[in-house]
């Protein structure tokens, strides 16, 4: 049994106060008399007046005590730990469908236990009671609007499937709160394991919490994963894996590396509780295909036991350098890890009908915008997509986008620039380097082509020291990788939006994406890019269409979701939610 308003229990101090009043009520005076023979009955009364003895044969006191206790209990709102739903009560069920609900630490999965409990709740409701169902994964949504149709509610729950994403319980609770504004009274029940780590919600809403799963679990999961091409050899890759033991016991673990489902390497480790260990596989000589890393033995949560990565085959990139000669630009291009062919031309020899994967214009702006990817360096006037506003001397670098793939491992700490062009940056462009005067390097996609603008000179005598820094060849290598799509989305996390270049096909063409469970979904094309949001499962996704066949990988890589230890209690707006058992 529990109490919804526990503060009223402090009123129980009135019980001893009431008894004390009865004890102190009778007061007598002492008199000296010659004999007590005639006072035997009075002597008995005196004995009765000694402390608690004076309370005997007083029926008024116990009646008052009973009334007082019942009144205090009523104010405290007692409830049973496993109550049945009131027969006439409307219900809003918040159903957690996140990855951790796939855990099998109990008899069957937590998700199946939750479905059974939800079905039982609905079956116990009166036919007049309304039901609302909210699915709580990474993007909570109402899967069944308020209805009294129990058969429809049961069908919706039976069709519900768990995802491999994290959950967003605060947003789901806010969604339930908005529904309560339209419903007079309803019971809100959150059905979850609370295993994403968010168990303190700043939302003032009365909620009952039905918890699933155990606190003591057995799970070793992959929490970090990356595949990097060896800079010294385009045919070799390195695989980096980070493993964490979320259980309470030391466990042996075998990490197996696969290429196209064929095991090619393995390592054995022993990992202690709460420890995170890194494992590296080196000299993996494959240029394309699907890399998978799997851990054994199987445990209570299999979603984080496998990770995937798509290696795209390197194509020869055709690059043309037009305009001023610059030894450092040429050298940075030639030493890049991207397989490429470099062509140099003077400004007078350039023809706009020539087709290259990338044209670099150094101090030269052609009359017509090329129909290909382009890099513009130190252009004197306007660009086809941006108006020159002014020129500024000695800008101060404020920051650069370290998380952007174009700036991967690029350190601009010592960069100096003497003069830059300040442009009216177009809406499609994104800044890479910010200075006190403007964004001094920006990129984006314009007319289905990738554009990079460097509005300052790369000459060491009059421009900047950028080409002298170790960061410059790294930056140029990142640019060439971006242009060639070598690093274009080999993996994303579950729930992320896929935005991948398919510029060689028309937006009106039908393109489909086949998910790991075999379901095929039509994808949206916008300005030569594929936009896909249904990444709710771990595994390999296949893009198919005329003249296009690509793959990308989706992985969990979420420590909070891999920590499947369930929460038995939930704090809502500073108060513990009332718990009910499945």
**What CATH number corresponds to the domain at position 210?**
3.40.50.410
Q: Which of 554, 534, 567, 517 is nearest to 110 (CA)?
A: 567
* Mean pLDDT estimate for the chain: 85
Confirm whether 258 is domain-assigned. yes
Which range marks the domain in which residue 35 is found?
A: 2-79
Task: Point out the domain boundary residue: 484, 512, 547.
Answer: 484
- Whole-number Cα distances in Å, 563 to 196, 223, 239, 560: 7, 10, 24, 5
Report yes or no: 564 and 196 within 8 Å, Cβ to Cβ. no
CATH number where 404 lies = 3.40.50.880
- 325 and 293 assigned to the same domain: no
Q: Which of 477, 475, 393 is nearest to 435 (CA)?
A: 393
* pLDDT for residue 502: 72
d(C-alpha 372, C-alpha 365), whole Å: 14
- pTM of the predicted model over 0.75: no
- 476 and 340 assigned to the same domain: yes
- 166 and 251 assigned to the same domain: no
What's CA 434's distance to the chain center, in Å? Answer: 28
d(C-alpha 258, C-alpha 124), whole Å: 50
Low-confidence ranges of the chain (pLDDT < 50): 81-87, 197, 487
- 293 and 399 assigned to the same domain: no
Confirm whether 86 is domain-assigned. no
* pLDDT for residue 200: 58
- Cis geometry, peptide bond prior to residue 297 (ω within 30 degrees of 0): yes
Q: Buried b vs exposed e over 184-197: b needs ≥16 C-beta within 10 Å?
A: eebbbbbbbbbbbe
- 535 and 435 assigned to the same domain: no
State the distance between the two ends of the chain, measured CA to CA, in whole angstroms. 16
Contacts of 13 (CB under 8 A, 6+ apart): none
- 368 and 479 assigned to the same domain: yes
- Strands 200-201 and 131-136 turn out to be unpaired
Confirm whether 84 is domain-assigned. no
- 449 and 549 assigned to the same domain: no
- 171 and 288 assigned to the same domain: no
Task: Point out the domain boundary residue: 484, 515, 545.
Answer: 484
Confirm whether 237 is domain-assigned. yes
Confirm whether 278 is domain-assigned. yes
- 440 and 574 assigned to the same domain: no
Looking at the 3D structure of the chain, how many domains does it have? 5
- 340 and 432 assigned to the same domain: yes
d(C-alpha 467, C-alpha 482), whole Å: 19
Residue 560 CB neighbour total at 10 angstroms:
15
* pLDDT for residue 422: 93
Element (H, E) at 134: strand 131-136
- 227 and 327 assigned to the same domain: no
Confirm whether 414 is domain-assigned. yes
- 437 and 473 assigned to the same domain: yes
CATH number where 241 lies = 2.60.40.10
Name residue 422's beta-bridge partners.
Answer: 390
Report yes or no: 529 and 502 within 8 Å, Cβ to Cβ. yes
Confirm whether 341 is domain-assigned. yes
Confirm whether 85 is domain-assigned. no
Polymer length in residues for the chain: 582
């Amino acid at each position: 049994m529990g109490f919804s308003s526990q503060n009223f229990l402090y009123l129980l101090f009135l019980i001893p106060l009431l008894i004390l009043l009865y004890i102190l009520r009778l007061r007598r005076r002492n008199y000296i008399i010659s004999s007590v023979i005639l006072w035997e009955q009075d002597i008995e009364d005196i004995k009765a007046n000694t402390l608690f003895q004076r309370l005997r044969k007083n029926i008024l006191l116990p009646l008052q005590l009973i009334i007082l206790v019942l009144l205090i209990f009523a104010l405290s709102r007692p409830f049973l730990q496993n109550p049945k739903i009131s027969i006439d009560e409307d219900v809003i069920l918040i159903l957690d469908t996140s990855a951790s609900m796939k855990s099998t630490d109990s008899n069957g999965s937590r998700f199946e236990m939750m479905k059974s409990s939800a079905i039982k709740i609905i079956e116990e409701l009166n036919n007049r009671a309304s039901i609302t169902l909210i699915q709580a994964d990474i993007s909570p949504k109402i899967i069944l609007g308020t209805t009294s149709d129990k058969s429809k509610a049961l069908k919706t729950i039976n069709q519900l499937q768990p995802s491999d994403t994290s959950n967003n319980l605060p947003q789901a609770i806010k969604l339930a709160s908005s529904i309560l504004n339209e419903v007079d009274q309803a019971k809100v029940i959150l059905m979850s394991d609370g295993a994403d780590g968010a168990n303190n919600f700043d939302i003032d809403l009365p909620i009952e919490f039905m918890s699933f799963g155990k606190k003591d679990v057995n799970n070793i999961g992959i929490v970090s994963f990356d595949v990097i091409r060896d800079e010294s050899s385009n045919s070799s890759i390195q695989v980096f894996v980070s493993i964490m033991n979320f259980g309470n016991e030391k466990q042996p673990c075998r990490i197996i590396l696969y290429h196209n489902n064929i095991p090619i390497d393995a390592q054995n480790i022993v990992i202690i509780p709460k420890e995170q260990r890194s494992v590296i596989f080196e000299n993996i000589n494959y240029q394309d295909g699907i890399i998978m890393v799997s851990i054994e033995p199987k445990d209570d949560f299999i979603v984080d036991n496998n990770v995937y990565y798509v290696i795209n085959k390197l194509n020869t990139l055709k690059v043309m350098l037009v305009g001023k000669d610059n030894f450092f630009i040429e050298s940075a291009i030639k030493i890049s890890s991207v397989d490429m062919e470099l062509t140099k031309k003077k400004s007078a020899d350039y023809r706009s009908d020539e087709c290259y994967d990338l044209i670099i214009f150094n101090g030269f702006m052609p009359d017509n915008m090329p129909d290909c990817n382009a890099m513009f360096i130190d252009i004197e006037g306007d660009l086809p997509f941006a108006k020159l506003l002014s020129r500024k001397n000695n800008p101060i670098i404020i920051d650069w986008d370290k998380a952007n793939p174009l700036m991967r491992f690029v350190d601009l700490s010592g960069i100096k620039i003497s003069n830059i062009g300040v442009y009216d940056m177009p809406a499609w462009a994104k800044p890479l380097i910010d200075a006190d005067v403007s964004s001094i390097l920006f990129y984006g996609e314009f007319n289905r082509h990738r554009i990079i603008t460097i509005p300052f000179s790369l000459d060491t005598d009059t421009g900047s020291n950028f080409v002298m820094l170790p960061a410059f060849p790294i930056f140029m290598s990142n640019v060439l990788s971006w242009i060639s799509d070598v690093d274009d989305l080999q993996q994303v996390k579950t729930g992320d939006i896929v935005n991948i270049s398919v510029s060689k096909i028309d937006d009106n063409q039908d393109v489909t994406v086949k998910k790991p469970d075999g379901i095929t979904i039509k994808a949206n094309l916008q300005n030569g890019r594929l936009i896909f949001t249904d990444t709710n499962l771990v595994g390999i996704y296949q893009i198919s269409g005329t003249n296009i066949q690509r793959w990308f990988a989706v992985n969990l890589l979420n420590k909070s979701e891999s920590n499947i230890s369930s929460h038995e209690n939930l704090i809502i707006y500073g108060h513990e939610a009332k718990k009910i058992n499945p």
